[in-house]
Amino acid sequence: MTLVEAIWRGLNWRLRFRALEFNKPGILRIMQMFGASGNAATTFTPTLANIGDRCTKFAPTLGLVLTAVLGNPPTMPASLTALSPIIAPQSNIDLLFTSKMREAPLELALLPYSAVISSNNNISTSFTTG
């Protein structure tokens, strides 16, 4: 059963990480992407009001920007930018409320978007690096 040929249909890029402080604004914004009640900046009360809508409608408007903190020696890549991240479908968010630091393991799907990279216009990509 040798693979003879295949059709390139893209890749599903996912990003898994563990937020060390779940109550920081960027992490709360991701966890409350589909709706929240109360003050979204200070509480975590997700709602189920938007079931059935397209996920891209709720992707963070500023996207996701990760920057390396180690400058010497230089880290490769120094940054990662994804302009259309969503919470990965069928993933679970765990809030670990223990006496230790409150962590939040997350999994994001990096959906494709159009970007200008160097002199190439409208390249379809899931993220860029710097």
pLDDT given at position 109: 94
Structure-block tokens of residue 67 = 């920057």
Instruction: Give the distance, in angstroms, between the CA of residue 95 and the centroid of all CA atoms in the same chain.
Output: 17
Beta bridge partners, 80, equal 66, 129
pLDDT given at position 34: 84
What's the CA gap between 83 and 49, in Å, rounded?
A: 24
pTM here? 0.80
**Phi, then psi, of 58 in degrees rounded to 5:** -110, 0
The number of beta carbons lying within 10 Å of the beta carbon of residue 20 is 11
Pairing of strands 64-67, 79-82: antiparallel
Q: For the chain, what are the domain ranges?
A: 13-46+53-129
What's the CA gap between 12 and 89, in Å, rounded?
A: 12
Could you list the pLDDT tens digit for every one of the 130 residues in the chain? 999 999 989 889 999 988 877 777 778 788 888 888 877 677 778 888 888 999 888 887 778 888 888 767 777 888 899 999 998 988 887 776 777 777 778 899 999 988 888 777 788 899 999 8
Instruction: Give the distance, in angstroms, between the CA of residue 101 and the centroid of all CA atoms in the same chain.
Output: 22
Which candidate, 51, 30, 29, places its Cα nearest to that of 41?
Answer: 29
| ∠ CA 78-125-85, rounded to 5° | 75
pLDDT given at position 105: 84
